[in-house]
Amino acid sequence: MRLRRNLTTLSFVAPLLIGIAVFFLYPLVSAVYFSFTKFDLLTVPQWVGLENYKRMADDPFLLQSVRNTLWMVAVFVPVRIISAIGLSMLLSQLKRGAGVFRTIFYLPALAPPVAATIAFVYLLKPGTGPVNTLLSHLGINGPLWFNSPDWSKPSLVLLGLWGIGDIMIIFLAAVLGVPVSLYEAAALDGANAWHRFRYVTLPTIRPVILFATITGVIYTLQYFDQAAVAGSIASGQAVTGGGISTAFGFPEGSTFTYPLWLYTVGFRYNALGYANAMAVVLFVVALAVTVILLRRSKAFSGEEQ
Amino acid sequence: MTTVLQRPQIKIPAPDRRVRRERRLTWIARHSIAIVLAIMFLTPVVYLVLLSVMTSQQALTSDYWPNSWHFENYVRVFQVTPLPRYLLNTVIYAVAATGFMLLSSVPAAYALAKLKFRGRNALFLTVICMMMLPPQVVTVPLYLMWAGYGLTGSLTPLIVPMLFGDAFCIFLMRQFLLTIPSDYLDAARVDGCGEWRTLIRVVLPMARPGIAAAGLFQFFYAWNDYYGPLLYTSENESSWTLSLGLASFHGVHHVDWNLVTAATVLAMIPIVVVFFFAQKAFVQGVTLTGVKG
């Protein structure tokens, strides 16, 4: 009887168990092993000990990609969260057309990242793009946006703000879930709008802010598509063999995020051992962030709620 | 408790004229901000659509408004680029990945939510870790594995893993299934239903919104995916998807910008259509991922 029940359970999770073994544990262990070796697509891995890890310290592109990704974590994540809270507060207070506005703000989040990036590169084209044309009418000399090493990452942040819909919906649900009685009690105490936000809304939605911060950091650690496409399209250069654009990171490596550099090292320069060393470092960082999430958030514990 | 707090509204004085005027002003201010923001959110798409119906010469200028409307660009882009091929590949990828994911992940999510077994918490933690793992960490070993089977250059490495569960969708559906009272399941079991029959007859009909949300996420993910096709199919153009094709248009084919934007708009249309048909399930799904901690 008990055996039968176990077999039934197993039949439910067997595919998942295979998936975990083949597509998660096996490549993870391999990545750690490969990180101590040197090889490319044609040669057999050769043990080199810690050499790949030592090499990381002397790789100027790697250091730049770390700086780029840290920049994104420090700017992209908070800007997106603050804007999403603002937008959800605004939506929650609209009396007319809230549904229409919600849909308009949400939809861009679903646009294919490649399509959205192309749209923004066109929109922000330095010479003839509509944004700079508009700015010049106002007497402002628009920046070079995706073509400037200083402005390429802020341009990516703008693109990320356009696709803010997913976390906005999460915050909207949280903001609407704040008990009305709390606001009423605060109003009776003479709290103004800012006080009501600061002392009622913010504490109530704090768990959601934490969740959005951590998932935002994880998302930023793997930020790849938009950076890759923005670099190659803004440069106007051809995408060459193997689909690896020579223009990844354009301009001047300013859009080389860590995963993008990892991909380039592995599949353009064929330094597969080194790429795996980078992967292991990425794994350690992502794991640390995930552990924080698991410790702080009840929803992720396996316990029944 | 709450009803007591809500009842006495007496203490707030009836709005006098000044207060009413203030309220109207904030109403106008809020809606004006919302309208300005809505225009900003719509601008990129509107601009893209306008650009896509210009002539190729005008698309190079800084004009916003087409001199003449060339809707035939949408037909031409199918004729002069491999767009039909990309579209077909994208549909194959998205439909197969979604179908396979549901087959493998619904039972797993059900087990994690409703069955008691040893190691369940450990299994759930593993699913969370998989969900949080940046795909680039395991990229090289997985690529080598698929290359060993000679399957790179096709969409197989992206579709087959879906038969073995998708961590995010399992997580999402588990969260949904937790909200279904276990009494229904117990009743079915008392009536002699096995676990599989309970799942199919009782749980599936009740869990439809959660399953729909997960299916939509998977479909959208595959439709929009760039990293996966770039990694596995870039060496073989006949397997390219829309995302990969769009990103490569500039270099590989000497296509005019109006056609590139037409293709870009086309890539967005199915997403918008699907969203409007399933808006409720989708918004519910997003909310579910952000469950309070």
What is this model's ipTM? 0.90
Same domain, B96 and B158: yes
**Residue B7 falls inside a structural domain:** no
> Which residue in A118, A268, A270 has the most chain B C-beta atoms within 10 A of its own C-beta, making it the best mutation to test that interface?
A118
Q: pLDDT averaged over chain B? A: 87
**Residue A19 falls inside a structural domain:** no
CA dist A290 → B48, B134, B135 (Å):
38, 11, 14
**Residue B3 falls inside a structural domain:** no
Q: Write the pLDDT tens digit of every residue in B272-285.
A: 888 888 877 777 77
> Which residue in B42, B77, B200, B292 has the most chain A C-beta atoms within 10 A of its own C-beta, making it the best mutation to test that interface?
B292
> Which residue in A8, A13, A72, A229 has the most chain B C-beta atoms within 10 A of its own C-beta, making it the best mutation to test that interface?
A13
Domain count, chain B: 2
Confidence of residue B7 (pLDDT cuts 50, 70, 90): very low
Same domain, B180 and B269: yes
**Residue B6 falls inside a structural domain:** no
- Predicted TM-score (pTM) of this structure: 0.89
- Chain A neighbors of B115, CB-CB under 8 A: 9, 12
Same domain, B38 and B178: no
Which residue did the predictor score with more confidence, B278 or B240? Answer: B240
The distance of B224 to chain A (nearest Cα, Å) reads 4
Confidence of residue B293 (pLDDT cuts 50, 70, 90): very low
The distance of B102 to chain A (nearest Cα, Å) reads 12
A18 and B234 within 8 Å at the Cβ level: the answer is no
Residue B5 in this model has a pLDDT that exceeds 60? no
**Residue A41 falls inside a structural domain:** no
Residue B291 in this model has a pLDDT that exceeds 50? yes
Confidence of residue B8 (pLDDT cuts 50, 70, 90): very low
Same domain, B163 and B102: yes
Among candidate residues B48, B73, B98, the one where a domain is terminated:
B73
Same domain, B174 and B195: yes
Cβ-based contacts under 8 A for chains A and B: 316
Same domain, B196 and B176: yes
Quote the CA–CA distance of B153 and B197 in Å, as a whole number: 40
Residues of chain A with pLDDT under 50: 240-242, 302-305
Which residues are CB-contacts of B43 (< 8 A; sequence separation ≥ 6)? Answer: A123, A130
Say if residues A245 and A231 touch (Cβ distance below 8 Å): yes
Among candidate residues B73, B102, B117, the one where a domain is terminated:
B73
**Average pLDDT, stretch B164-180?**
92
Same domain, B87 and B226: yes
**Average pLDDT, stretch B143-172?**
95
Same domain, B271 and B143: yes
B161 and A8 within 8 Å at the Cβ level: the answer is no
**How many CB atoms are closer than 10 A to CB B53?**
20
Residue A248: enclosing H or E segment and its boundaries?
A: none
What confidence score (pLDDT) does residue A32 get? 96
B11 and A188 within 8 Å at the Cβ level: the answer is yes
**Residue B2 falls inside a structural domain:** no
Sort residue B35 into left (φ over 0), alpha (ψ -120 to 50) or beta. alpha
What confidence score (pLDDT) does residue B80 get? 84
Among candidate residues B28, B44, B73, the one where a domain is terminated:
B73
Residue B112 in this model has a pLDDT that exceeds 50? yes
- Chain A neighbors of B144, CB-CB under 8 A: 30, 272
Say if residues A275 and A258 touch (Cβ distance below 8 Å): no
**Residue A53 falls inside a structural domain:** no
Question: What CATH number does residue A163 fall under?
Answer: 1.10.3720.10
Structural domain of B188: 83-289
**Three-class secondary structure assignment of chain B:** CHHHHHCCCCCCCCCCHHHHHHHHHHHHHHHHHHHHHHHHHHHHHHHHHHHHCCCCCHHHCCCCCCCCCCCCHHHHHHHHCCHHHHHHHHHHHHHHHHHHHHHHHHHHHHHHHHCCCCCHHHHHHHHHHHHHCCHHHHHHHHHHHHHHCCCCCCCHHHHHHHHHCCHHHHHHHHHHHHCCCHHHHHHHHHCCCCHHHHHHHHHHHHCHHHHHHHHHHHHHHHHHCCHHHHHHHCCCHHHCCHHHHHHHHHHHCCCCHHHHHHHHHHHHHHHHHHHHHCHHHHHHHHHHHCCCC
φ/ψ of B82, rounded to 5, equals: -80, 30
- Chain B neighbors of A243, CB-CB under 8 A: 230, 233-235, 244, 248
Structural domain of A155: 59-298
**Average pLDDT, stretch B52-66?**
84
Same domain, B65 and B98: no
What confidence score (pLDDT) does residue B15 get? 64
B31 and A94 within 8 Å at the Cβ level: the answer is yes
Question: What CATH number does residue B237 fall under?
Answer: 1.10.3720.10
Same domain, B168 and B216: yes
B247 and A232 within 8 Å at the Cβ level: the answer is yes
- Chain B neighbors of A112, CB-CB under 8 A: 223-224, 226, 242-243, 246, 267-268, 271
Domain count, chain A: 1
What confidence score (pLDDT) does residue B2 get? 33
A16 and B257 within 8 Å at the Cβ level: the answer is no
What confidence score (pLDDT) does residue A74 get? 96
Same domain, B142 and B275: yes
**How many CB atoms are closer than 10 A to CB B155?**
23
**Residue A32 falls inside a structural domain:** no
**Residue A30 falls inside a structural domain:** no
**Residue B226 falls inside a structural domain:** yes
Confidence of residue B161 (pLDDT cuts 50, 70, 90): very high
Give how far the C-alpha of residue A104 lies from the chain's centroid of Cα atoms, to the nearest Å: 22
Same domain, B68 and B87: no
- Chain B neighbors of A9, CB-CB under 8 A: 111, 115, 117, 195
